[in-house]
Amino acid sequence: MSRWRRDTGGSTDLPVGDRRRVGAGVYAERVNAAARLLEGGVPIGDAALLLSARFGVSLRQARRYADLAAAGGRIVVPEPTVVFTVKLPVVLAARIREEARVRGTTISSLVAGALSDHLVSTGAGSLTDE
């Protein structure tokens, strides 16, 4: 019988010692927690110890979070996303793929930005309007 722990992202149960990467939101939460400790005057080594205990990560990983926070401060917590499937003409889909490739971004990022800009320009609001 293997031991299990709750993933800190709350998404699933993972076996102890599982080496999967955390999601962007959890990553940002941990770097920002490190930044708050450092901003409060906690030495980086002590911050790593506290982060290791709080998030159940290795001291080495906790130190990485602290080092990132020391170098750049807090980071933006990404908004949750959802899969949203639409049917597009083949030519339009190809143009979107090519534009994303040229810009060095993802199709999702390109389309989300374009839709957000369109909604704002038509007076329909922004992504942050609820």
- Give the model confidence (pLDDT) of 36-61 as tens digits: 999 999 999 999 999 999 999 999 99
Distance CA(27)–CA(33), nearest Å, equals 10
Count of structural domains, the chain: 2
pLDDT at 17 over 80: no
Give SS3 for 14: strand
Residues 88, 67: one domain? no
The pLDDT value given to residue 125? 65
In terms of Cβ atoms closer than 10 Å to its own Cβ (0-12, 13-18, 19+), residue 47 is buried
Residues 86, 59: one domain? no
Residues 63, 86: one domain? no
The domain boundary residue, chosen from 52, 72, 92: 72
Host domain of residue 120: 81-130
The pLDDT value given to residue 78? 82
Give tens-digit pLDDT for 64-114. 999 999 999 999 888 888 999 999 999 999 999 999 999 999 999 999 999
Residues 116, 86: one domain? yes
